[in-house]
């Protein structure tokens, strides 16, 4: 089924009912500030990787409502004609700031902020969350997998297991940003310049009367880049011996070498060690061993610790779906509303402490050590607060304020950059390759203790004194109101 639709309509229905209500209440132009942030790092990790901003930019640039969209909403008999006219003549005028893609991010700090008329800011909610949640999730999982490979190339192989076409394409892009070398998804090279790779499936081998004939035909067709899948029948008894034979009988006379073999089943640690010895004994010391088959960061780490002789990894379903934890958990919450020309902080209280929001339009500062270059802490402050970052700064834990630490000899950098100003795009999007390089550079500034898989060290994400006092005051006021 070929679904075509206007992405402006891909939103929760309540965004329309609230928008209609804002207009009827005269609040349509009330300036509001929303934060998009997440509450917990997937897989109990120490950090996440921001991704999805390019999708957000493309969505906002094309944000409009078609005649058929207006007619659909009219058919619901819920909306005023004034609201339908508003949508028909929709013009985006918000300010949007965001953390660049590829940046390491931490819970409860803004990834995207939107400031502008209430209806406009509200209508962005679903699509912003779709883009940032999905792509940050896959980028975060991919970075873990790449880290586990310890410098060996990792390729994304997950398209056929992805939950839809966009998930396959944008998931592959997120994986590349996080460090994967390429993808099996051909369209991603067309769209984003991500190297697409692929050789053969087991069906190729089964199409021939013997494994040797299948290998021979492939080698004759692709002598300069011949990687053979060796586990259709038996890796050690059939696949590797036939691959060596094809090298000697077909490729070597043509002046070429066998590029690699791929193992897609079985005990890859054991099989790779045995295959490596067979290849080396045949003089094929440069032949790469490529493994796939339901891999993730833990399996890769384990087989390498067992001495696996693997040069490259192909990772599919557990990467493209983030199988171990398939939800990123980003949320989009209002944090300030304009009243009489002044932005008034707003807070959401909850019996679940983790769901209490942090009020105010914000700035996020990242502190880097001038000595080591490593990331020291993030400081969340109300936008407009001034600091003297040439002097030592004392930060404290927002939940346990007696836990304090003073930082000296550091450089502070803003994380949020302008993307749209009064609805006009002001951000020059990097290429996918540039984002990938930026991600590698930024993650190199993380302490290993923060980056480890199990029980990572807690990274400091603290509130300024002013912001902490504002939040505390609003909580006390809400509690008093509840008691009264």
Please write the tens of the pLDDT for every residue from 419-463: 999 999 999 999 999 999 999 999 999 999 999 999 999 999 999
Q: Do both 282 and 331 map to the same domain?
A: no
As for how many domains the chain has, the answer is 2
Q: Confidence band (pLDDT; 50, 70, 90) for 350?
A: confident
Angle at 114 between CA 113 and CA 115, to 5 degrees: 125
- Tell me the torsion sign for CA atoms 285, 291, 295, 296: positive
Q: Is residue 176 part of a domain?
A: no
Residue 429: inside a domain, yes or no? Answer: yes
- Assess contact for 312 and 197: CB atoms under 8 A: no
Place 353 in a pLDDT band, splitting at 50, 70 and 90. Answer: confident
User: Is 32 contained in some domain?
Assistant: yes
Encode pLDDT of 265-302 as tens digits.
999 999 999 999 999 999 999 999 999 989 999 999 99
Please give the order of strands across the beta sheet that includes 375-382.
410-414, 362-369, 375-382, 460-463
CATH number of the domain to which 423 belongs: 3.20.140.10
pTM of the entire predicted model: 0.96
Say whether pLDDT at 23 is over 90: yes
Residue 479: pLDDT band (50, 70, 90) is: confident
Containing structural domain, residue 274: 199-290
- Residue 305 pLDDT class (50, 70, 90 cuts): very high
* Residue 385 lies inside a defined structural domain of this protein: yes
Q: Quick one: 332 and 400 in the same domain?
A: yes
For residues 350 and 413, membership in a common domain is answered with: yes
Residue 464 lies in a domain: yes
Beta carbons within 10 angstroms of residue 191's beta carbon: 14
Q: What is the mean pLDDT of residues 376-398?
A: 96
Q: What is the pLDDT of residue 3?
A: 75
Quick one: 332 and 397 in the same domain?
yes
What is the model's pLDDT at position 2? Answer: 61
Query: pLDDT tens digits, residue range 106-152?
Result: 999 999 999 999 999 999 999 999 999 999 999 999 999 999 999 99
The answer on pLDDT for 407 being more than 80 is: yes
The answer on pLDDT for 484 being more than 80 is no
Q: What is the CATH number of the domain that holds 261?
A: 3.20.20.70
* Residue 478: predicted pLDDT: 86
Q: Is residue 57 part of a domain?
A: yes
pLDDT of residue 483: 62
d(CA 79, CA 14): 12
pLDDT-based confidence at residue 52 (cuts at 50, 70, 90): very high
Average pLDDT over the chain, rounded to whole?
Answer: 96
Residue 480 confidence (pLDDT): 77
Does residue 94 lie in a domain region? Answer: yes
Does 1 have pLDDT greater than 60? no
Please check whether residue 364 is in contact with residue 415, taking contact to mean a CB–CB distance below 8 angstroms: yes
- Flag whether 315 is in a domain: no
Mean pLDDT of 323-350: 95
SS3 309: coil
Cα separation, 65 vs 386, whole angstroms: 41
Q: What does the pLDDT read at residue 352? A: 87
């Amino acid at each position: 089924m070929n679904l075509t639709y206007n992405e402006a309509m891909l939103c929760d229905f309540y965004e329309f009912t609230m928008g209609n209500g804002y207009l009827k209440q005269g609040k349509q132009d009330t300036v509001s500030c929303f934060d998009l942030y997440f509450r917990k790092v997937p897989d109990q990790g120490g950090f996440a990787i921001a991704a999805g901003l390019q999708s957000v930019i493309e969505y906002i640039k094309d944000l409009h409502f078609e005649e058929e969209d207006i007619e659909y909403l009219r058919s619901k008999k819920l909306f005023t004609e004034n609201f339908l006219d508003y949508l028909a003549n929709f013009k985006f005028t918000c300010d949007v700031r965001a953390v660049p893609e590829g940046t390491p991010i931490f819970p409860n700090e803004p990834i995207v902020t939107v400031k502008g008329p209430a209806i406009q800011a509200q209508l962005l909610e679903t699509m912003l969350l779709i883009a940032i949640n999905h792509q940050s999730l896959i980028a975060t999982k991919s970075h873990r997998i790449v880290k586990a490979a310890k410098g060996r190339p990792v390729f994304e192989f997950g398209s056929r297991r992805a939950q839809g076409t966009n998930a396959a394409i944008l998931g592959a892009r997120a994986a590349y940003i996080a460090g994967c070398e390429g993808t099996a998804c051909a369209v991603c090279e067309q769209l984003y310049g991500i190297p697409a790779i692929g050789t053969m499936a087991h069906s190729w081998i089964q199409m021939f009367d013997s494994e040797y004939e299948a290998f021979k035909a492939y080698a004759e067709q692709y002598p300069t880049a011949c990687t053979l899948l060796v586990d259709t029948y038996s890796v050690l008894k059939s696949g590797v011996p036939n691959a060596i034979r094809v090298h000697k009988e077909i490729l070597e006379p043509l002046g070429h070498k066998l590029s690699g073999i791929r193992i897609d089943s079985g005990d890859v640690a054991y099989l790779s060690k045995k295959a490596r010895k067979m290849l080396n004994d045949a003089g094929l010391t440069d032949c790469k061993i490529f493994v796939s088959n339901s891999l993730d960061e833990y399996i890769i780490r384990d087989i390498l610790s067992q001495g696996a002789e693997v040069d490259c990894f192909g990772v599919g379903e557990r990467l493209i779906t983030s199988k171990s934890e398939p939800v990123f958990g980003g949320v989009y919450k209002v944090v300030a509303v304009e009243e009489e020309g002044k932005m008034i902080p707003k807070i959401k209280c909850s019996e679940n402490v983790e769901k209490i929001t942090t009020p105010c339009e914000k700035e996020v500062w990242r502190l880097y050590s001038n000595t080591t270059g490593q990331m020291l802490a993030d400081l969340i402050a109300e936008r407009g607060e001034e600091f003297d970052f040439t002097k030592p700064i004392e930060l404290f834990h927002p939940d346990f304020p007696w836990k304090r630490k003073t930082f000296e000899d550091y450089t502070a950098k803003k994380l949020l950059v302008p993307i749209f100003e009064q609805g006009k795009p002001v951000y020059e999007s990097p290429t996918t390759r540039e984002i990938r390089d930026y991600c590698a550079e930024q993650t190199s500034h993380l302490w290993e203790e923060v980056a480890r898989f199990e029980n990572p060290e807690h990274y400091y994400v603290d509130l300024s004194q002013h912001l902490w006092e504002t939040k505390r005051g609003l909580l006390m006021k809400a509690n008093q109101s509840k008691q009264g």
